[in-house]
Structure 1
């Protein structure tokens, strides 16, 4: 094992194994919840779109303050509390089902509150990671986490589709709740990331949020990374929101086929994440992002060809290629933005990114539901494919495309640039 490998760090291994369980739960529920709405509660395309929008609306509502709160809080407690909350929320769904009292209103409430917990888990985990491993191991650590996300997309969504088909959707949701509980128990073993990255004097929440916004949108490279990722999320969510309706009602392919289709996208994510480091080593970090977008993003226009027979395979290939590009973007983009940010701004930087990226999912779901009602499912897929095909342009047209190496880690002088009068303190190591 390489001496700078993140796998030598016990806290990273703990965070990783907790994330395995958490991502597995997320992907099971990703398949099971909309299928409960469509198959059991007879939800319309607009209602399915509303359900998907509510699942990510929390990032628009509390994404920005969550970043500031995470910078003030003990990150270990944030992660554990988020997983415990998600376990309770999803456990309520099968209980209501078995009592014959499940309604769309309850599903709406569950996915909205689950989104709130996910805000804190995502921001907390991405903010904790750079504190748990050395900077030299950061890209490898991010590649491992993004590979995990991709593998969980394959295994979790395949398992979700299989569980729904074999044991019913409520049982699948109960399995997701159990996995969240197991993740919370595992994360209690983390010893680092227990405190905010850098002690700081009391500051108004509004001021801290503004510091994070200025840091991201005042930097041309960070701004381009945020815009490209947000547009990519917008396109993929427009497509994903309509897939349960298309598979279940129009193509009559069933939950298992839908789970396998989403799993194929997970294969693309995994291959992209695993290829990110060698491709960046060959072409440079920014150039790899630009080339991946130019060569692979247009494959998103193949996805609307989804149909029975050859159309299924053509659309599947386009989906895999589009997700390959997203997998590379995740590893390289996250590593770039972490290295461009001082420790004391990590929570707010990640909160700002999550506000934009997952907020785009909420907007995409709402747009998808509206378009599905007005112009039909197929036309909605073409809109999503167009966004996927052009999402790379902000990065391709920015200075990021010319960057060959990761930047030097930002010090506290960067914090003082956005926070006049800031107190310099040494970087805390776990």
Structure 2
């Protein structure tokens, strides 16, 4: 199973989209690390936190409108427009950090815009993929995208940090170039990727009135609640998102407390390696497992991994690190398969004109859950300690397994 397709094996429009997301992903991952680093070098820690918080806040505020936009206009134009705005935001940040005294309010505003456009692009991009390849090739396409994202997640932050060492404004100029390249690639897509208009009344959530503005806005959430399988899977994935961020924070905190700086790099590399290998696995099982089975396996394995770390947390540092590396690799190995299975389920069962709002609804729920993981882990580390933090995360993973089993009508749905 190849991570990337042989030349010409997929439609030209999909290859352009694939390359555009590759280019934009490098810019996004590079500035994901560069922005807080440069902010900490420029402002006080409290002010730097505001810069990062502005980006996260934008996902929550823009998530629902992003889905509406993706479902009511050309997704090609939405993607290209979002990347063009990110290009401008990156140039603005480069200009700010090139000056001696950048205005905090402007930096926060540009960070907010960048995060908002990331959400807009994501809703339109995820919704468009099933229309760019035949259904018979969708599993392979989604798996290749997971592999691409894994590579980007490993090399992007390294490039971003290296560019900061050269000049604080440089990573943002480079990111602007990657977003500009993405705009040009997206402009070459021949399909407008315009969703079909919904028949009157089908676009509204129950109790909101046919086609009402409120009904259209909350349609993504109502789709999740109305579909038993989707309800169970999304509820489980929200909990697993908390476990993911919480476990990473706990591992880094434990290693930092023990003075093992190199350990942070080792576990990060293990996560990237697991994600990359998992994208190969996803191509083999993503189309065979039901989405509930895929998420259930992930939740149960994560329960075991967190439980193992809870038991081993008190052992000697290097023994603990030797366990953490394969455990985190195994956890990330299972992520692409559940993602691919869910995307296939959505492609087969969710109307084309509603995918954007569904994807943005999921994104908003994940954005709410992700910060709770480090917060919960931090409180537990300050109190009972690492064993308790890992044990609570194991319990959350087990609850995810229960939810994905009980909320759907049947496991094989």
Q: TM-score, normalised by structure 2?
A: 0.81
> Gaps (5+ residues) in structure 1?
408-430
Counterpart in the other structure of 2:149: 149
Structure 2: gaps of 5 or more residues: 204-210
Could you say which residue in structure 2 is the equivalent of 1:417? none
| C-alpha distance in 2 between matches for 1:87 and 1:135 | 33
- How has the CA–CA distance of structure 1 residues 282 and 57 changed in structure 2, closer, same or farther, with 3 Å as cutoff? same
Tell me what 1:22 maps to.
24
Q: Residue in 2 aligned with 1:269?
A: 275
Q: What is the DSSP-based 3-state SS (H/G/I as helix, E as strand, rest coil) of the residue aligned with 1:275?
A: helix
Structure 1 equivalent of residue 10 of structure 2 = 8
State TM-score, norm by structure 1: 0.78
2:307 pairs with 1:289: no
CA 1:373–1:298: 2 relative to 1, 3 Å: closer
Residues 1:298 and 2:304 are matched in the alignment: yes
Distance 1:150 1:173 in 2: 22
SS of residue paired to 1:100: coil
Cα deviations by residue, 1:237-271 (Å, 9 ceiling, x for unpaired): 345568888888984738xx756643432221222
Q: 372-381 or 391-400: which moved more? A: 372-381
Corresponding position of 2:362:
353
Is contact 1:94-1:171 (8 Å) kept? yes
Contact 1:239 1:384 in 2 (8 A): no
Return the offset for 1:135: 2.1
Task: Call closer, same or farther: CA 1:280–1:240 in 2, change over 3 Å.
Answer: closer
- Are the counterparts in 2 of residues 142 and 331 from structure 1 also a CA contact under 8 Å? yes
Residue equivalent to 1:90: 90
**Could you say which residue in structure 1 is the equivalent of 2:215?**
207
Partners of 2:218 and 2:179 in 1: how far apart?
33
Structure 1 position 173, deviation (Å): 3.5
Question: Which residue of structure 2 lines up, in the alignment, with residue 226 of structure 1?
Answer: 234
SS in 2 for 1:8: coil
Deviation (angstroms), 1:18: 0.3
Structure 2 distance, partners of 1:342, 1:68, is: 14
CA contact (8 A) 1:58 1:116 kept: yes
Q: Match for residue 343 of structure 1?
A: 352
Is 1:49–1:370's contact at 8 Å kept on the other side of the alignment?
no
Alignment of 1:402 onto 2:411:
yes
Correspondence list, 1:5-404, <5 A = 7-43=9-45, 52-102=52-102, 105-164=105-164, 166-198=165-197, 203-239=211-247, 251=259, 253=261, 261-280=267-286, 286-300=292-306, 309-364=318-373, 367=375, 371=379, 382=390, 385-386=393-394, 389-390=397-398, 391-399=400-408, 402-403=411-412
Instruction: Give deviations 1:154-179, integer Å, cap 9, x for gaps.
Output: 22133334444x42554234322321
* Contact 1:71–1:345 (8 Å) recurs in 2: yes
1:48 Cα offset (Å): 6.8
Tell me the distance in 1 between the aligned counterparts of 2:232 and 2:241: 14
- Structure 1: how far apart are the matches of 2:106 and 2:326? 36
Residues 128-168 of structure 1: per-residue CA shift (max 9 Å, x gap): 1111122222222221222211121122133334444x425
Give the 3 Å change call, closer, same or farther, for CA 330–168 of structure 1 in structure 2.
Answer: farther
1:40: how far off?
4.8
Coordinate RMSD, CA, aligned? 3.8
Deviation at 1:315, TM superposition (A): 2.5
Q: Which one is further off, 328-337 or 47-56? A: 47-56
Aligned residues: 397
Separation of aligned partners in 2, 1:67 and 1:375: 40
Alignment CA distance shift 1:289-1:249 (3 Å)? closer
Distance 2:305 2:36 in 1: 26
Q: Deviations over 1:165-207 (max 9, x none)?
A: x425542343223212221222111111442244656943312
The worse-fitting range, judged by mean Cα deviation, of 333-342 and 238-247 is: 238-247
